[in-house]
Amino acid sequence: MQRVQEKMVRVVGLRQTFGHRIVLRDVNFEFSAGKIVGLVGPNGAGKTTVMKALLGLLPTDAGNVRILGQPVSVNTHSVVTQQVGALIERPAIYPFLSGWQQLQLMTTSEKQITWVVQVLQMDAYIHRAAKRYSLGMKQKLGIAMALVNRPRLVILDEPMNGLDPQSVKRLRHLIVQMAGKGTTFLISSHILSELEKIVDTVILIDQGEVLLQRTMTQLRESARQSLVVQTTENAWALRVLLQADYPVTQRVRNLIVTKPVALTPLLRTLLDAHIQILKINQYQEDLETVLLRLLTERKV
């Protein structure tokens, strides 16, 4: 018998207005436990608002939010308290307490605190008052506060903000490791090159609407591939390839073959015409390019 995967989050018909402004129109999405989900979209798309609604922080106008099958709203959020850790916008930090003391407010387990401090490399300053922390140190403390209880769902709004490259890498590894043990992540970030290294699924929102929800495998499949060729005689090479029915254009000093083609016959066509090949590179669109293309295609 096939095991039904547990839905970690299910959002149906979510609508949010601030005054006369519709910020979320009709937001629907769901994802299963153990996934790393990227929530992406332009500035002001509604990502933080969605995350706040998931945490029961907003009196929404309409719609239904469920975490692990339990309803979440401003008045009903026991599942959030028990199962969710979050860092939304800036971490809520008491300036006169040390990082360690703030973590003690989240859990009674010294073992968990030691683990998170060590894994995020905060040992050097964790006993200092937080008012003396840099932006990046505060950000790490905020992440530590979201993770320290080992919640089943972790919601992180722009977690890479202010982190140095080494810390970003550590955080990436930690997220993947925790997801491997069953923790679910919903992460918003504008650094798509970082997100694409870890997420299983991407939810793209724009102007308060979900434009698409796709797995990374689906997005990679829809990424366009091209071949960039440079020869000693590009004008001649262009004619030869067009005559052989290749989808090719010339851009500055390169010839661009705009669809995936078999390499050997293409090379043979050029060599048979006595054209010397100087360079040949294969490109595949990255997540950022795919998403920007999808956003642009939608607006035309």
Ligand X SMILES: Nc1ncnc2c1ncn2[C@@H]1O[C@H](COP(=O)(O)OP(=O)(O)OP(=O)(O)O)[C@@H](O)[C@H]1O
Binding site for ligand X (CB under 6 A): 18, 23, 41, 43-49
Stated as kind and residue range, the H or E segment containing 215 is strand 209-215
From the CB of 124, what's the least distance to ligand X, in Å? 30
Is the alpha carbon torsion for 182, 184, 189, 192 positive or negative? positive
Q: Which is nearer to ligand X, 41 or 85 (CB)?
A: 41
CB of 82 to ligand X, least distance (A): 25
For 284, left (φ over 0), alpha (ψ -120 to 50), or beta?
beta
**For residues 43 and 166, which CB has a smaller minimum distance to ligand X in the complex?**
43
Phi and psi, residue 289, nearest 5° = -65, -45
- Our CB check for ligand X shows the closer of 41 and 99 to be 41
Q: How far is the CB of 50 from ligand X (least distance, A)?
A: 7
To ligand X, the closest distance from the beta carbon of 41 in angstroms equals 5
The nearer residue to ligand X, 47 or 77, going by C-beta atoms, is 47
Distance CA 192, CA 31 (A): 20
Q: How far is the CB of 73 from ligand X (least distance, A)?
A: 17
CA distance 176 to 197: 10
Q: What are phi and psi of 180, to 5 degrees?
A: -60, -25
Which residue number, 199 or 257, has a Cβ lying nearer to ligand X?
199
Partners of residue 87 on adjacent β-strands: 156
